[in-house]
Amino acid sequence: MDVDALARLRSPAGEAALASAAALVERGSTAADPLAAATALRAAGFAPDLASAALTQVVLRRRAEAKFGVDAHQMFFTRAGLEQATRRVVADRRAARLGAHLAAAGVARVTDLGCGIGADALAFARSGLAVFAVDADPAAAAMAQANGEALGLADRLDVRCADAASVDLSDVDAVFCDPARRDSGRGRRIFDPATYSPPWSFVVGLADSVPTTVLKLAPGIDHSLIPAAAEAEWVSVDGDVVEATVWCGPLATAPRRATVVRGSAVHELTGTGEVTAPVARVRRYLFDPDGAVVRSHLVAEFSTIVDGTLADPRIAYVFADAPARTPFGRCFEVIEELPFPLKQLRSALRTRGIGRLEIRKRGVAVEPDRLRRALRLSGGAEATLVLTRVRERPTALLCRIAGNSAPPPGLRAT
């Protein structure tokens, strides 16, 4: 959507088209037949381009609920802008932390370089900061401004269309930058920082100009690229690692942090990211640490919490003698080791009547869905199969979620 299309959507006719499109989507008409929905809007007197823009917007708003809750229905999105936008729970946490730091320093302004549709900029404004935001894409900048107005935050939000490199940083209190990380041509995810926009050299150099800088980076970022004195925080939401946040200069309070958000609860683990957990045998309970713990290299710190050890120095499964409830990982009881070769594994699972199998793996080149098909499971029992390496040896561990009742029929407890 371009700036003109956004302006049309925000006009009285656009608002009416959005309301009619929302009613159609509510009734399920677009999912069943998008063409019929567009025809219905045109029949109601809306111009074809307005009808189509309104329908697209309403569908995006629905999708955006997962990130923004009810606010989504007042906001404007492009498909790419929504995909790249920070979900509200994460943006609000970041804004609160930055806001608290700036308040302690007696200042309250942040400059957002590449604001997209404005999810972070809005969170900063909501936290009380005055936000100056730019985006090189005119439509993104217009949407960020429109979203500020729609959510009643416009008085704290000044959005311009500009290249981040053109912004004068000589008098700013803090900088936030969330570079675009996609190949705009094909929409693929990019993990190579050399292809970031603004470019990586610009992004990583920001803290030289403004020490109080926060960067949002892809969770796959290599630790070697993180500036030495900065704090790197990996954030997961309901099991998915969504980003790495780099807190530069005075904002850094720990070398590495894993933040695990589950529903409304937030749990944090900190450490150096340089400690290796002790290695021992496979023990009765296996913990699969949350992705934020693994990415932040805090598996050793996690092992201490559950009094655990690794079975292989390079594999992030943690073993312990006792189960534990922890937000930082899932706990399984190891029932027995099964043979790894496919035929023997298939036969072992058949014998145990396992028809439903969750497959988890680390350190072995197995494609779980393909393996599940090849296993031709049958039976009424369910279990978890953990495929891993134990001191270089491929190992298959039959497990169940710790705390479950009796093992599936045919399973032998060790």
Q: Using CB under 6 A, list all residues that contact ligand SAM.
A: 84-86, 114-120, 134-137, 140, 163-164, 178-180, 197-198
Comparing CB distances to ligand SAM, the nearer of 119 and 306 is: 119
Q: How far is CA 44 from CA 50, 142, 264, in A?
A: 12, 28, 42
CB 9 within 8 A of CB 17: yes
What is d(CA 334, CA 402) in angstroms, rounded to the nearest whole number?
A: 9
**Which residue's CB is nearer to ligand SAM, number 81 or number 249?**
81
- Of 20 and 236, the one with the shorter C-beta distance to ligand SAM is 236
Which residue's structure tokens are 């609920």?
Answer: 65
Alpha helices in 151-215 (DSSP H): 200-209
Shortest reach from residue 144's CB to ligand SAM, in Å: 7
Other Cβ atoms less than 10 A from the Cβ of 201: the count is 10
Using the minimum distance from each CB to ligand SAM, give the nearer residue, 102 or 117: 117
Rounded Cα distance, 62 and 77, in Å: 11
User: What is the smallest separation between the CB atom of 92 and ligand SAM, expressed in angstroms?
Assistant: 12
Backbone angles phi, psi at 20, to 5 degrees: -65, -40
SS3 192: coil
Q: What angle do CA 263, 178, 126 make, to 5 degrees?
A: 55
Whether 297 contacts 256, CB under 8 Å: yes
- Provide, rounded to whole angstroms, the least separation between the CB of residue 6 and ligand SAM: 14
**Residue 262 CB, nearest approach to ligand SAM (Å):** 21
338: part of which helix (H) or strand (E)?
strand 329-338
Dihedral sign for Cα 57, 58, 59, 61, please: positive
Of 37 and 180, nearer to ligand SAM (C-beta) is 180
Q: How far is the CB of 131 from ligand SAM (least distance, A)?
A: 12
Residue 119 or 269: which CB sits closer to ligand SAM?
A: 119
Q: Which is nearer to ligand SAM, 135 or 288 (CB)?
A: 135
DSSP string, 248-263: -GGG--SSEEEEEEET
**Dihedral in degrees, nearest 10, Cα atoms 331, 335, 341, 346:** -100
Q: To the nearest whole angstrom, how small is the minimum distance from the Cβ of residue 208 to ligand SAM?
A: 18
> Least separation, in Å, of the C-beta of 57 and ligand SAM?
16
Q: Judged by CB, which is closer to ligand SAM: 88, or 400?
A: 88
C-beta closer to ligand SAM: residue 118 or 408? 118
356, 330 contact by CB (below 8 A): no
Phi, psi of 13 (to 5 degrees): -65, -40
Q: Where are the alpha helices (DSSP H) in 112-225?
A: 119-126, 138-150, 200-209
Nearest approach, Cβ of residue 171 and ligand SAM (Å): 19
How far is residue 305's CA from residue 324's CA, in Å, rounded to a whole number?
Answer: 9
CB of 235 to ligand SAM, least distance (A): 13
Side chain identity at residue 320, one-letter code: A
